[in-house]
Amino acid sequence: MGASRSRTENPEIQDLSDQTGFSSEQIRILHRRFRQLSGDEETISKENLEKIQALDKNPIRNQIIEAFFDKRNQKDGKVGSFEEIGFEQFVKVMSHFRPPNLKMTDEDKEAMRREKLRFLFNMHDTDNDGTITLDEYRKVVEELLSKSGAIGPDVAKAISDAAMLEVASINMPHMEPDDFYEGITFEHFEQILKGLEMESRMNIRFLDVDTSTMHCGKSQ
Amino acid sequence: MWRRWELVFGALLLASYWGGTRGQDADPSPGTAATPGPPVPVPQPDGPQAFPEPEKANLPMFTMDYGRIQIPFEFTLWVLLASFAKIGFHVYHKITIWIPESCLLIVIGLVVGGIMHAVKEEPPAVLDSNVFFLYMLPPIVLENGYFMPARPFFENTGTVLWYAVVGTLWNSVGIGLSLYAVCQIEVFGVQDINLQENLLFASIISAVDPVAVISVFEDISVNEQLFIVVFGEGLFNDAVTVVLYNMFTFVADMPVVESSDVFLAMARFFVVGLGGLLFGLLFGVAGAFTSRFTNNVRSIEPLFVFMYTYLAYLVAELFAISSIMAIVVCAITMKSYLEENVSQGSCTTIRHVVKMLACISETLIFFFLGVVTVTTDHEWNWAYVLFTLLFAFVWRGLGVLVLTQIINPFRTIPFNFKDQFGLAYGGLRGAICFALVFTLPDNINRRSLFVTASIAIIIFTVFIQGISIRPLVEYINIRRTNNKHQTINEEIHTRLMEHTISGLQDLCGQWSHYYWKDKFMKFNEHVLRRILIRDNRAESSIVALYKKLELQNAIELLDTSLGDLSAAPSLVSLTDEKKASSRPKKTFLMGDVRKMRDNLSKNLYKINQRTTAWTNKDGLHENRQAREILIRRHHTIRRSVRMGSFRDQVRHRFNSIPKSQRYYSLQPGMNLESALPLRRTSHDSSRIAFLIIPSFFYVPNPNPRQTPKPSDEKARSDIVEMKEGRLRAVQPPPSPRSSSRSFTGRLGTVKEATPRPPSPGLDVIHESPVSSRGPRAKGPLPTPRRSLFHRVQGGEEGDKQQQEEKEEEEELSVELQGEAGDVPQPPPLPPPPGWVPENQQSHRAGDPLLRHSSQGSRGSSRF
């Protein structure tokens, strides 16, 4: 975790760039943003992120912030969560959202898709046990609908239940009557979202040009 | 088909013959007002001619005045003929898969044209400029605008407009200039075509018509971006083409074009486009606002869509700004708000009529294309026609290549070469192109050469490219996406992803269209929806989808006469959607119904397993029926049972029927007894016996492994059970006796309806013995009620309570006498292992899925 040291020294940027696939220019822009968010500290804590005004309106703000502090999203096989993250972790989480480029092979795309799905899955699976239980699923759906105004928790519940039923019926069509469907595993998760096009959705176009001057005061 | 077709044609000829001889004097008055167009055939303004001429001496026995009805009559026959042809294509379904419909229409048109040419008949003068622009074009464009998939379009607006505007300009200018260069070569003999005319012609043939391509792309579900770009390009480039066309027809008249004219033309281009946008928005908002107040006049609701869009079109036409732009923008703006305001029926009507009008227009245009190809005089110039084809092809390809290189850096998902190929190859020319060239004013020198060249390019592209695009696209394996099967999970995750992305963009301080989307959504939420929508509840798309699926399923059930709307399962319906959407909806043949039942039963089966599974982790050995009822009910329980806790039940028992019972339970004031026979008659009543017991007792299945696989017969029984599930809904969970008593009181008649059933408490629907399910129903599965008592007893209750319990169950049991008499009494069973663990879950009492268990425990603990 040489996060704190990987600031402006070129080799480190290069290193990060190799790991994450961002261009060094993009990393520089992200780093500027990182410093801005952390208040010029080496690390970012949850409070830093919660302060972002633009996120206030986001119904799944908590999930998004959690995702940054989730060790699973660092792709190094650890579980648990950080108290604070450095720039390296920050960039690694961001790297889930790199758009595909024309040079990628189909395998690369498939891997990328899995990576993105894994990110979503981790967002659901808050207790790290590898399955999304009904409760976890419900929570996300509830949050998702929570900013929509008149939708009560009843509806959210009904919907998540329905969704869960759907998952179960898609994945386990021939379950024995006394089997219990514990929750959505990652394989099942992939299965239910098989038809969904992710390539065009789970992407951020990371800019090569700094736009922080272009949005007047909205970021913080 | 052919016989019918010939019949119509014969009638048509006959009619024309009469028109020629008898109706000489009643010439169809020229000009626009009297000429009929697709939307409404305008009656002749000649006034009524009902009275005989004054000089005639005596009253004629029989008169005929063909001239009076000629135009609408002939028009009707043409439409009929074209429609019959359309029916004909679909008799053999495989034709339309491999050959686009437009090809077939042109072929038929050619045949008809050939016959008409042989008998020296003039083609109908339906296609003059005014008729086309005022009547034929609006329906086509309206359809495209109305059914434009909004979300992908707004995500790709930039690219769409880029291709539509710049691409069309590129094509027009490129083709025009190259043709002009060709015209300078003496050998070809076309030196008299000047630059303006070449540009005019080029602008005409750069209008691409994506209909054929769209249907292919839809079929093979090509990726969303490509689809929307082809779709949107076709739509907006019509607008650009028409603007260019008007501009160049104007310019073609001018002897000298000065440079200032060029700048004026460019300025005009923007005025025209933005003006169209403005009028579209204006009328769109007005239309949406009007629909807010139509809830009392449902019958004319659909009219507003057509009137407002047409009005937008006409007003734009009045000011000579882009009327296509206006109508498209109007439709897009109006649609989302209007569809929330109008009733379901009106919504369907609108969609159908929009489709129908567009279909008529397009069919007619292609049909006339065929006719005109044969009947008009052509001026064939090999060089000009071939060069036109070549340039059209080359410039299109080049344009896509170059424009994509420019736009790709701005796209999150760049177009790869396959996409670009699809885009370039999808550039078929079609109806608009033909109509435009056919309506060229006569003062253009080489008008007939232009007509010939345009028809050549249309026929070439429609036939060669149109037929080959499907195999080609399949061969190169273009990126595909599956956006048809929308399940609730996909919807949830689409939203989840959107919010994630938008959140992350905020986080890293960058913004893109998500930022603007957010802004617009906020504006929409706070301002637009409040003004434009009557019943303004902010509704998430997930909720909307959920409701839609529910409704669809309800309708489906209704259609298959398997049940009535109120019996529609709520959650159960969801997985049906996928299959339902792929199923033809118009006709329910026996096979379809069977398949549907099959699907339904399978889905129900699966779903049910899941829910029970959650409710008790230890896997209570219930029999399947019980499980299914549970599932169908779990939504219901929430509504009918949970309105207030059980403690409030007594207080509320007479007036606490929830408002939201519409799907699930008896109507207020209706009693159980009166509801039951009704339901019976809607089914195969003689074969079904309802045995109703307190529904919260799920009878353990001693032998779950013997459960037969779902069969066809099961399907129906599922439905029946569904109904029973509904009945259950009004019946309270009985084990907490106080509460069930209160319900009994509410249900009033339940107590009287109790001839003691011979085999009390089978939680099973028995189908007739002849069905394959029969043996099972009678076999070990129908577990006795006694086991329930044991179970309860095993749980917490004593003997005395058991006695009371029994009495109460007697009260609650309603039996409709079917063939239940011969059901054997199954043996008692030991308490299932899952019972006790189940009660431990009572902390999740609010959970609909778990409700029954928690209630069970809560209720009984009160003893």
pLDDT of B306: 92
Of A150, A154, A181, the CB nearest to B613: A181
Q: List the single best residue of A37, A197, A207, A214 to mutate versus B (max B Cβ within 10 A).
A: A197
pLDDT surpassing 70 at residue B499: yes
Q: Vertex B838, ends B836 and B839: CA angle to 5°?
A: 70
pLDDT surpassing 80 at residue A106: no
Task: Nearest chain A residue to B632 by CA: give it.
Answer: A162
Mean of the per-residue pLDDT values of chain B = 64
Task: Nearest chain A residue to B609 by CA: give it.
Answer: A177
Task: Nearest chain B residue to A133 by CA: give it.
Answer: B614
Measure the CA–CA gap between B141 and B235, rounded to whole angstroms: 7
Measure the CA–CA gap between B612 and B849, rounded to whole angstroms: 8
Number of domains in chain A: 1
pLDDT of B848: 39
Q: Decide if the complex's ipTM is over 0.90.
A: no
pLDDT surpassing 80 at residue B171: yes
Of A63, A99, A165, the CB nearest to B611: A165
Q: Does A80 touch chain B (CB under 8 A)?
A: no
Is residue A152 one of the residues assigned to a domain? Answer: no
pLDDT surpassing 60 at residue B244: yes
pLDDT of B338: 85
Is residue A143 one of the residues assigned to a domain? Answer: no
Alpha helix stretches (DSSP H) within B733-849 = 737-747, 774-778, 785-795, 799-812, 835-839
Nearest to B688 by CA among B563, B790, B857, B597: B563
Residues of chain A contacting residue B499, judged by C-beta atoms under 8 Å apart: 58-60, 64, 144
Q: Vertex B833, ends B828 and B836: CA angle to 5°?
A: 110
Nearest to B683 by CA among B765, B579, B575: B765
Contact B494 A196 (CB under 8 A): yes
Contact A94 B603 (CB under 8 A): no
Strands B691-692 and B814-815: antiparallel
* Top-confidence range, A22-31, B360-369, B457-466, B823-832: B457-466
Mean pLDDT of B418-422: 87
Contact A177 B704 (CB under 8 A): yes
More confident residue, B63 or B689: B63
pLDDT surpassing 60 at residue B543: yes
pLDDT surpassing 80 at residue B361: yes
More confident residue, A123 or B731: A123
**For chain B, how big is the Rg over CA atoms in Å?**
34
Residues of chain B contacting residue A54, judged by C-beta atoms under 8 Å apart: 506
Closest approach of A42 to chain B, Cα-based (Å)? 16
Mean pLDDT of B227-239: 85
Contact A120 B497 (CB under 8 A): yes
The model's confidence at residue B59, banded by pLDDT at 50, 70 and 90, is: confident
Tokens 């292919």 identify what position?
Answer: B216
How many CB pairs (< 8 A) connect A and B? 230
Instruction: Say whether pTM exceeds 0.90.
Output: no
Contact A204 B500 (CB under 8 A): no
Residue pLDDT, tens place only, B808-847: 444 444 343 334 444 444 444 444 443 433 333 334 333 3
Mean of the per-residue pLDDT values of chain A = 73
Measure the CA–CA gap between B370 and B264, rounded to whole angstroms: 38
The model's confidence at residue B91, banded by pLDDT at 50, 70 and 90, is: confident
Specify the range with the lowest mean pLDDT, choosing from A108-117, A118-127, B447-456, B579-588.
Answer: B579-588
| CATH number of the domain encompassing residue A52 | 1.10.238.10
pLDDT surpassing 50 at residue B406: yes
Is residue A219 one of the residues assigned to a domain? Answer: no
Nearest to B636 by CA among B733, B547, B737: B733
Residue pLDDT, tens place only, B301-330: 888 889 999 999 999 989 888 888 899 899
Residue pLDDT, tens place only, B46-55: 444 455 555 5
Measure the CA–CA gap between A83 and A45, rounded to whole angstroms: 6
Mean pLDDT of B250-257: 72
Q: What is the DSSP letter of B58?
A: S
Q: Does A36 touch chain B (CB under 8 A)?
A: yes
Closest approach of B619 to chain A, Cα-based (Å)? 5
Tokens 């069970």 identify what position?
Answer: B856
Residue range of the domain that includes A54 = 2-132+184-213
pLDDT surpassing 60 at residue B569: no
Alpha helix stretches (DSSP H) within A95-185 = 106-124, 134-146, 153-171
Question: Which pairs from A149-154 meet CB under 8 Å and 24+ separation?
Answer: A149/B525, A149/B537, A149/B538, A150/B537, A150/B538, A150/B539, A151/B538, A151/B539, A151/B540, A151/B543, A154/B638
Residues of chain A contacting residue B707, judged by C-beta atoms under 8 Å apart: 177
Residues of chain A contacting residue B485, judged by C-beta atoms under 8 Å apart: 195
CB A3 within 8 A of CB A43: yes
Please, which residues have CB within 8 angstroms of residue B366's CB and are 6 or more apart in sequence? Answer: B102, B105, B106, B109, B430, B431
More confident residue, B467 or A211: B467
Tokens 């073609």 identify what position?
Answer: B252
More confident residue, B38 or B308: B308
Is residue A100 one of the residues assigned to a domain? Answer: yes
Q: Which amino acid is at B188?
A: F
Q: List the single best residue of A204, A210, A211 to mutate versus B (max B Cβ within 10 A).
A: A204
Is residue A162 one of the residues assigned to a domain? Answer: no
Residue pLDDT, tens place only, A152-198: 677 777 777 777 777 777 777 666 666 666 777 888 888 777 777 67
Q: Does A110 touch chain B (CB under 8 A)?
A: no
Of A141, A158, A169, the CB nearest to B492: A141
pLDDT-above-70 percentage for chain B: 52
Q: Does A13 touch chain B (CB under 8 A)?
A: no
Is residue A159 one of the residues assigned to a domain? Answer: no
Please, which residues have CB within 8 angstroms of residue B365's CB and are 6 or more apart in sequence? Answer: B127, B136, B431, B434, B435
* Residue B46 exposure: Cα atoms within 13 Å on the Cβ side: 18
CB B295 within 8 A of CB B534: yes
Measure the CA–CA gap between B412 and A220, rounded to whole angstroms: 25
The token duo for B710 is 């779902």
pLDDT surpassing 90 at residue B655: no
pLDDT of B310: 93
The model's confidence at residue B22, banded by pLDDT at 50, 70 and 90, is: very low
Of B155, B619, B638, the CB nearest to A180: B619
Of A61, A173, A179, the CB nearest to B503: A61
CB B697 within 8 A of CB B734: yes
The token duo for B42 is 């305008």
Q: Does A169 touch chain B (CB under 8 A)?
A: yes
CB B430 within 8 A of CB B241: no
Contact B413 A203 (CB under 8 A): yes
Contact B603 A54 (CB under 8 A): no
Measure the CA–CA gap between B797 and B752, rounded to whole angstroms: 27
More confident residue, A202 or B664: A202
Q: List the single best residue of A142, A201, A213, A215 to mutate versus B (max B Cβ within 10 A).
A: A201
Closest approach of A77 to chain B, Cα-based (Å)? 23
Specify the range with the lowest mean pLDDT, choosing from A54-58, A95-99, B60-64, B585-589.
Answer: B585-589
pLDDT of B645: 38
Is residue A167 one of the residues assigned to a domain? Answer: no
Closest approach of B409 to chain A, Cα-based (Å)? 10
Measure the CA–CA gap between B566 and B766, rounded to whole angstroms: 22
- The helix or strand, by DSSP H or E, that contains position B394, with its residue range, turns out to be helix B382-407
Measure the CA–CA gap between A68 and A97, rounded to whole angstroms: 13
Contact B503 A60 (CB under 8 A): yes
The token duo for A129 is 């046990």
First-last CA distance in chain A: 27
pLDDT surpassing 90 at residue A126: no
pLDDT of B354: 92
pLDDT surpassing 50 at residue B42: no
Mean pLDDT of B4-25: 44
Residues of chain A contacting residue B546, judged by C-beta atoms under 8 Å apart: 155, 158-159, 162
The model's confidence at residue B384, banded by pLDDT at 50, 70 and 90, is: confident
Residues of chain B contacting residue A37, judged by C-beta atoms under 8 Å apart: 507
Write the CA distances from B84 to B186, B324, B353, integer angstroms: 48, 29, 18
Q: What is the dihedral of CA B677, B679, B683, B688, to 10 degrees?
A: -60
Is residue A170 one of the residues assigned to a domain? Answer: no
Measure the CA–CA gap between B688 and B819, rounded to whole angstroms: 7
Closest approach of B372 to chain A, Cα-based (Å)? 45
pLDDT surpassing 50 at residue B796: no
Residues pairing with A81 in the sheet: A70
Nearest to B661 by CA among B628, B633, B696, B698: B633
